[in-house]
């Protein structure tokens, strides 16, 4: 007996729908005015897109929208016209797929280990590099001049993942992440050996969430010579994110960053306590 799902796809209406979807994708690839762009998307993802506009949006950086009329609500216009919302979605989907992947690969590891491994895999530097490997960086529409902020590349990769998810669903997005990101570029043994920098992780979070300018401020010094210790706070504007102490400024900044990440719930307590 056929299941309801089998009936939907095997019945006359389901078969017609399947043909229509296939015809639409083939049209996009061979006959549409965007066929060259569609080929680029196909080369990156391995799938022919249905909704081409989603991928164009994923590759549109907010800097390309400076010409928005002052009379309009600029914030809303930018949000609808650039890739930031798709980046938010893609970030969540990528985290979900990587979390499931690590959960299955490491059946005996605890939450702290899995969280740290995921953080290493999806850190901005790694995503920037993968974006370049996939040639996503060459398709981004932006108006940045001079030295380009490379976080734009990783952001576009996450937005692209969001576009695949909305266009083709979770199953194909997961296949894309496995085939085009995890298998060719993620070497788990190498990732395990990486030492996570709490300061870099905090800087990345502050930049990604657009909190403002992160600063490290010495608030106290004790002792002298080899016995000197520094107390430093990590702050954005007047808001103190974390405080830490160390025998030099570098270690104190790391501790302050770790304290901030704990308070922001970005690292588990077990992961932090292991370093104290």
Q: Show which residues are catalytic.
A: 91, 158
Cα 117 to Cα 127: distance, rounded to the nearest angstrom: 14
Contact 230, 221 (CB under 8 A): yes
Largest distance between two CA atoms of the chain = 84
Exposure string of 44-60, with b = 16+ CB inside 10 Å and e = fewer, is bbebbbeebebbbbbbb
Using a CB cutoff of 8 Å and minimum separation of 24, what contacts does 172-176 make?
172/47, 173/93, 173/97, 174/97, 175/46, 176/45, 176/46, 176/47
CB atoms within 10 A of CB 183: 9
**CA gap 133, 128 in Å, rounded:** 9
For residue 60, the 8-state DSSP code is B
Gap between the Cα atoms of 164 and 62, Å rounded:
20
* H or E stretch covering 230: strand 229-236
Q: How far is CA 123 from its chain centroid?
A: 8
Contact, 244 vs 256, CB < 8 A? Answer: yes
């Amino acid at each position: 007996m056929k299941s309801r799902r089998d009936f939907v796809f095997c019945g006359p209406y389901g078969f017609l729908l399947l043909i229509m979807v296939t015809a639409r994708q083939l049209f996009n690839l061979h006959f549409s005015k965007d066929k060259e762009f569609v080929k680029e998307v196909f080369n990156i993802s391995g799938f022919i897109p249905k909704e081409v506009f989603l991928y164009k949006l994923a590759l549109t950086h907010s800097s390309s929208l400076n010409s928005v009329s002052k009379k309009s609500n600029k914030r809303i216009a930018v949000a609808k016209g650039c890739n930031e919302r798709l980046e938010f979605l893609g970030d969540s989907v990528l985290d979900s797929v990587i979390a499931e992947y690590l959960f299955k690969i490491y059946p005996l590891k605890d939450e702290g280990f899995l969280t740290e491994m995921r953080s290493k895999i999806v850190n901005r530097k790694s995503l920037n590099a993968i974006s370049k490997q996939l040639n996503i960086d060459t398709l981004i529409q932006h108006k940045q001049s001079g030295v380009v902020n490379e976080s734009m590349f990783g952001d576009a990769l996450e937005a692209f993942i969001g576009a695949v998810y909305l266009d083709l669903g979770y199953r194909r997005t997961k296949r894309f992440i496995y085939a085009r990101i995890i298998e060719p570029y993620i070497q788990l043994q190498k990732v395990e050996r990486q030492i996570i920098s709490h300061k870099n992780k905090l800087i990345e979070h502050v930049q990604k969430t657009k909190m403002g300018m992160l600063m490290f401020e010495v608030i106290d010094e004790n002792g002298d010579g080899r016995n000197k210790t520094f107390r430093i706070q990590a702050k954005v504007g007047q808001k103190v994110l974390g405080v830490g102490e160390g025998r030099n400024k570098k270690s104190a900044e790391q501790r302050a960053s770790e304290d901030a990440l704990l308070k922001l719930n970005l690292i588990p307590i077990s992961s932090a306590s292991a370093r104290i």
